[in-house]
Every structure is written in C-alpha cells, then in structure tokens.
C-alpha cells in the first residue's frame, strides 16, 4: 500500500532514506562461503576401445536430435518409443519431481523480497466510566474504529544466507531436470533393449520351428526305413527324441518372449493383458556409432550433469551454514489509516506509520552451528566424490560396450564359420546315413551341434544390437548439458 502525506518533515525524509539504504545494503551485502568452481576430474585423451574405423566426432545427427532409436530404422520401435513420452508412469513421476523442485526455487526466491500484509478491520468500542484515568470530558463513551493497516517485513541478506539458499534450490532443480533427462534416456534404452531381445527370441523361435519341420521329415524318413527293416528302432527313437526336444525349446522361447512383451507394455503405459506385438525376427546389424572424444562425455551424460549440479548445491549450503555465525538483521514497518469516521479514513490526518529494525545474534548454542558447518562441508566432499565416481562409471560403461561391439563382431564372424561347418557336417552325416554307412546317432549329433551353433549365432547378433543400445545410453543419447533449464 502506498501512503501519501500532505507534508513530509526533514526527519521523515531522513528516515526514509535510511530505510532505503538498509534495503539496498541487504540486496548487495557480502556473501560468506566458498566460491563455486567445478571439481576437477581425470579425463582420458581417448577411448581405449575406439575402433580404428570410428572417427572422433560428435554422435550422428540422428542422436543429436534426441530420437536416437531412429538409427535402427525400425518403424515399430519408433512408434513404441514415442509412446513412452506420453504414457510412461515413471517418466511422469520424474517430471512431477522436477516441477516440485522448480517450485522450491520460487519459494526460496520469495525471501529476497519484502513480505507485505494487510489486515483491515472495523469495530465499535465503548469505554467503561470506571476505567482508570477515564476522561470524563469526552462527549461519548462509544466510538467507531475503522482501521486499514499494512505491515512490511524484510530480512537484510547481509551475509548471503538467502542468496545461497536460492542458489542451492536452483542447483537442485537443475539436478532434478538432469535426473528427468536421465530417466527418459534409461526408459527409452530399456524399451529398445527389451524390444531387440524380443526380436532375437523371435529369430530363435523361427529357427527352432524351421528345424522342427526338418526333424519331422527326418522322423518320417527314419520311420519308413524302420518299416522297411533297413534301420533299427533305436534310430527311430533317436530321431523322435531330438524332434520333441526341439519342440520343447521352441515352447520355452515363447515363455521368455512373453515376459519381454509384458515389460514393453508397462514401459508404454498399457496393460499387459491387452498388449500384443506380432513376431518379427531380428535381422539387422548394429549401426556405426562414433562415441566422440572423452571430454565431451561430461557434457552429454545427464547423470554427470546432475552430480555436478549437486556439488554446486552442496557448496551453496556451506554458505548458508556459515551465515548462521552472523547477526540476522530484519526490518519491519507498519503504516496505514485509522479513523472513527469512514468518510475521513483515507485523509492525510488519518495516516500513521512506524519503522523498526532488529538484529538477532546467537551467543551460545553448544556447538550447533559448528556441527552444521561440518555437516555441510562433509556433504560437499561427498557430492564431489559422487561426481567423480559418476564420471569413472560413465567411462567404464562406454569402454565396456565399445569392447563388447568389437569382440562380438569378431565372435560373430567365427560363429558364422562354425554354422557353415556344422551345416556341412549335417549334410555329410545324412548322406552317410542314407547310404547305410552309419547309424542315426551320427546324424543326431551333427544336427544338435548345428542347431546349437545357429542359436548361438542369433544370440550373438542380439547381444551386438543390445551393446549398441547400451553404448548410445552410455554416451548420453541425444542429450546435451545445454538442455538444462535456467529455472
């Protein structure tokens, strides 16, 4: 509320100037506590496992756009990934947590400004004639009282307690924003992993069912030879055994596939009972993904950004703790209008005001402030250690998946050669069996070995795709530190 007077004395002007000076001093006072600098961390010059054909560069355009899963060029995966942003409950929870922390910043900032309150009142009073020192010359014992006051209170932030609190709240909000990005990245990566694992099982099931058809033909052939007296019942039993064993393997794959399908349903926010994805065998190879130079990893991983923001938060909390050693200075003021007649309430003579200041200092607290400072310092040290540990883990994850891609590529080539050799062995064994040179045990052994090699080849392909997804996650997907909001 603005209070105007017809005439202001020199003392009033001096009082107003002094109050304004104190407010200005509170807004520009010194700040106790250490100045924040980002903690240092050891960063290697290059990734040890970077393949020779990977150039050192930022991730491809598809990653920098954020929709990194599009590098796999799978329309069904693209559709499922888009549903996460709309329907995933864990992501909604993380988003709500960020909004909560952003609201906390607004609460902290409010302490930078005065608090103003008004409490208008209307009353009618009657004085007792027997009241001590009652003025008997009054014309009436009863009177009206119209009151329109405004109260102002303001803490002078001389030592930066409020400013450090705002900095801490802002840093926590930014850390929550990075946490949200981390949850988003993890959920999208988890969906891609589940999806490709399911597609790998589809490929296994297709292989097993195709093998079942081949084994059924072998059983029919062996049965015909048995009926003709060419082969023994042992050969027929062996052929039937491997057929039924392979059928059982195909059924077991369906059980595993169902669990991945249900997991995907939860990720996209749908009931598992009504969710279904048609089988589609995995037939793609991992795309080339340049990991970039190690130093850029610090800018592209949301968990590293969150850990760094919490270091700044802990640093600001040290300043808040140290400010407790200094006096808490507050200003207060009251002003408004009061009159016995409503029509004269807003006139100059009805105005009143008062100003006051207070400084409070704790003289003895039995070590409470010292303990609070030590606690804040220990929390800062812990946040620095967590930040450096997060960096170490991030480099480990990149190296792990670069190594996995390199090793699995070599293993896949060797396994493909093994599959070709096993298939040739099966052909030779069947020819020998039909020629009566050997019994069916040799065929069974060769077919079992060939099937195992083919299943292994499918598993390796699935692992290669999974490693590429984990590498994208390890390098931060399409996220960048510049996406942290200023709050």
**Are 302 and 174 contacting, i.e. CB atoms less than 8 angstroms apart?**
no
Q: Tell me what pLDDT residue 437 has.
A: 86
Is residue 315 classed as helix, strand or coil in its secondary structure? helix
User: Quick check: 59 pLDDT over 60?
Assistant: no
**Are 202 and 282 contacting, i.e. CB atoms less than 8 angstroms apart?**
yes
Using one digit for the tens of pLDDT, what is the confidence trace for 130-179? 778 777 777 667 888 899 999 999 999 999 999 999 999 999 999 999 99
**Are 253 and 209 contacting, i.e. CB atoms less than 8 angstroms apart?**
no
Supply the pTM of this predicted model. Answer: 0.85
Domain tally, the chain: 1
**Are 320 and 168 contacting, i.e. CB atoms less than 8 angstroms apart?**
yes
Average pLDDT over residues 425-447: 90
Q: Which of 53-67, 166-180, 452-466 is predicted least confidently?
A: 53-67
Burial track 73-108 (b if 16+ CB lie within 10 A, e otherwise):
ebeebeebbeebeeebebbeebbeebeebbebbeeb
Q: Which of 16-20, 62-66, 272-276, 378-382 is predicted least confidently?
A: 16-20
DSSP structure class, residue 270:
-
Q: Confidence class of residue 206 from pLDDT cuts 50, 70 and 90?
A: very high
Q: Tell me what pLDDT residue 225 has.
A: 87
| Residue 125: inside a domain | no
% of the chain surpassing 90 pLDDT: 70
Using one digit for the tens of pLDDT, what is the confidence trace for 320-364? 999 999 999 999 999 999 998 888 888 888 899 999 999 999 999
The domain that holds 248 is classified in CATH as 1.20.1600.10
Using one digit for the tens of pLDDT, what is the confidence trace for 379-393? 999 999 999 999 999
| Residue 361: inside a domain | no
| Residue 135: inside a domain | no
Contact residues for 356 (Cβ-Cβ < 8 A; gap 6+): 331, 332, 333
User: Quick check: 440 pLDDT over 80?
Assistant: yes
% of the chain surpassing 70 pLDDT: 90
User: Quick check: 89 pLDDT over 60?
Assistant: yes
| Domain that includes residue 253, residue range | 39-112+161-326+368-483
CA 20 to chain centre: 45
Q: CA-CA distance, 453 to 204, in Å (whole number)?
A: 12
| Residue 351: inside a domain | no
CA distances from 383 to 345, 390, 396, 404 (A): 58, 10, 20, 31
């Amino acid at each position: 509320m603005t209070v105007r007077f017809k005439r202001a004395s020199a003392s009033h002007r001096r009082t107003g100037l002094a109050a304004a000076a104190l407010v200005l001093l509170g807004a520009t006072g010194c700040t106790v506590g250490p100045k924040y600098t980002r903690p240092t961390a050891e960063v290697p010059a290059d990734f040890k496992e970077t393949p020779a054909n990977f150039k050192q560069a930022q991730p491809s355009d598809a990653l920098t756009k954020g929709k990194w899963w599009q590098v796999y060029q799978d329309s069904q995966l693209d559709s499922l990934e888009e549903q996460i942003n709309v329907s995933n409950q864990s992501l909604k929870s993380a988003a709500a947590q960020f909004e909560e922390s952003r609201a906390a910043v607004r609460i902290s900032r409010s302490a930078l400004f005065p608090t103003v309150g008004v409490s208008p009142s209307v009353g009618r009073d009657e004085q007792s004639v027997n009241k001590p020192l009652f003025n008997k010359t009054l014309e009436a014992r009863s009177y009206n009282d119209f009151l329109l006051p405004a109260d102002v209170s303001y803490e002078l932030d001389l030592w930066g307690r409020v400013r450090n609190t705002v900095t801490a709240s802002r840093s926590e909000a930014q850390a929550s924003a990075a946490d949200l990005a981390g949850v988003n990245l993890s959920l999208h990566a988890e969906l891609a992993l589940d999806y490709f694992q399911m597609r790998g099982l589809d490929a296994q099931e297709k292989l097993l069912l195709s093998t079942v058809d081949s084994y059924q033909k072998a059983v029919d052939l062996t049965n015909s030879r048995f009926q003709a007296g060419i082969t023994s019942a042992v050969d027929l039993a062996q052929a039937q055994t491997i057929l039924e064993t392979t059928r059982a393997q195909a059924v077991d794959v369906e059980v595993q596939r169902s669990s991945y399908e249900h997991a995907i349903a939860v990720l996209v926010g749908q009931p598992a009972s009504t969710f279904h994805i048609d089988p589609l065998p995995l037939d793609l190879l991992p795309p080339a993904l340049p990991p970039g130079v190690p130093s850029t990893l610090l800018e592209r991983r949301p968990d590293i950004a969150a850990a760094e923001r919490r270091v700044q938060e802990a640093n600001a909390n040290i300043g808040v703790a140290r400010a407790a050693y200094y006096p808490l200075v507050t200003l207060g003021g009251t002003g408004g209008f009061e009159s016995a007649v409503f029509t004269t309430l807003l006139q100059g003579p009805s105005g009143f005001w008062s100003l006051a200041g207070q400084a409070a200092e704790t003289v003895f607290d039995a070590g409470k402030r010292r303990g609070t400072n030590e606690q804040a310092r220990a929390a800062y040290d812990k946040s620095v250690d967590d930040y450096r540990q997060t960096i170490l883990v991030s480099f480990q994850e990149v190296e792990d998946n670069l190594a996995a891609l390199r090793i699995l590529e070599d293993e896949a080539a060797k396994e493909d050669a093994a599959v070709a050799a096993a298939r040739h062995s099966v052909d030779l064994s069947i020819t020998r069996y039909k020629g009566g040179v050997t019994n069916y045990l040799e065929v069974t052994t060769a077919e079992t070995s060939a099937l195992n090699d083919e299943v292994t080849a499918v598993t390796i392909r699935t692992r290669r795709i999974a490693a590429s997804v984990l590498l994208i996650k390890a390098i931060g997907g399409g996220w960048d530190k510049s996406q942290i909001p200023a709050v």
